């Protein structure tokens, strides 16, 4: 299964929901921070942003894309039988994912349209690299929600090979149903009896 460009872009954007939250928090007005924490729920007021349209838009769009990512993963049909001979967890490739977070603490804010344009250009290139490499579904934010990345030696169609797996559960040797997405496999981790 090959992700089309627009769904792949939406899944990619969903992985940057935390970045949108960081940028929104950095955009909260000094007066809001000076007011302190709200101790009486009825007297609380919503935080004021210096650039509310950009801050709220970023959080809403990436939040919706994150929900879409969960929908995509939960509605996958696991239809390809594979036999796992052995598997081992592998650390996620977090360096490409963490660069934009590092950038967000290096002076990117909504007050400078040039810096925002630079961040958008950087994310666009990162998306193209991730998309062409077939790594869109290897979304590090899924780790927070219990998904893990594995390297497994498998038998599929009577051919043995090594591949990456995204799984909700540990993958001991056995038979599983999976879905292939851009050269990697996704399984819910439930062994199948057939």
Phi/psi region, residue 186 (left: phi>0; alpha: psi -120 to 50; beta: rest), is: beta
Query: Using one digit for the tens of pLDDT, what is the confidence trace for 97-106?
Result: 566 666 655 6
Query: Using one digit for the tens of pLDDT, what is the confidence trace for 147-177?
Result: 888 889 999 888 899 988 888 888 899 999 8
82: helix, coil or strand? strand
- Pair (148, 165) in one structural domain: yes
- Pair (89, 103) in one structural domain: no
Alpha-helical regions (H) of the chain: 5-14, 17-27, 30-34, 52-74, 95-104, 113-132, 141-144
- Pair (2, 66) in one structural domain: yes
**pLDDT < 70 stretches in the chain:** 1-3, 92-106, 194
- Pair (112, 154) in one structural domain: no
Give the residue numbers spanning the domain of 157.
76-93+140-194
Question: At residue 15, what are phi and psi to the nearest 5 degrees?
Answer: -70, -10
**62: number of Cβ within 10 Å:** 22
pLDDT of amino acid 61: 96
- Pair (120, 156) in one structural domain: no
pTM, rounded to two decimals: 0.77
Give me the number of domains the chain comprises. 2
Interatomic CA distance for residues 193 and 22, integer angstroms: 46
- Pair (117, 154) in one structural domain: no
């Amino acid at each position: 299964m090959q992700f089309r460009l627009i769904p792949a872009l939406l899944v990619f954007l969903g992985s940057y929901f935390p970045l949108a939250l960081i940028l929104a928090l950095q955009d909260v007005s000094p007066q809001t921070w000076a007011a302190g924490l709200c101790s009486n729920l009825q007297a609380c007021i919503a935080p004021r942003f210096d650039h509310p349209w950009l801050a709220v838009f970023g959080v809403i769009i990436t939040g919706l894309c994150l929900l879409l990512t969960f929908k995509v993963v939960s509605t996958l049909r696991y239809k390809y039988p594979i036999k796992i001979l052995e598997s081992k967890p592998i650390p996620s490739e977090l360096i490409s994912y963490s660069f934009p977070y590092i950038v967000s603490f290096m002076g990117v804010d909504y007050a400078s349209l040039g810096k925002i344009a630079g961040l958008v250009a950087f994310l666009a290139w990162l998306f193209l690299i991730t998309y062409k490499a077939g790594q869109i579904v290897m979304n590090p934010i899924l780790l927070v929600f219990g998904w893990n990345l594995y390297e497994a030696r498998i038998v599929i169609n009577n051919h043995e090979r090594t591949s990456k797996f995204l799984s909700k559960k540990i993958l001991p040797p056995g038979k599983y149903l999976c879905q292939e997405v851009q050269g990697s496999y996704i399984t819910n981790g439930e062994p199948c009896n057939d």
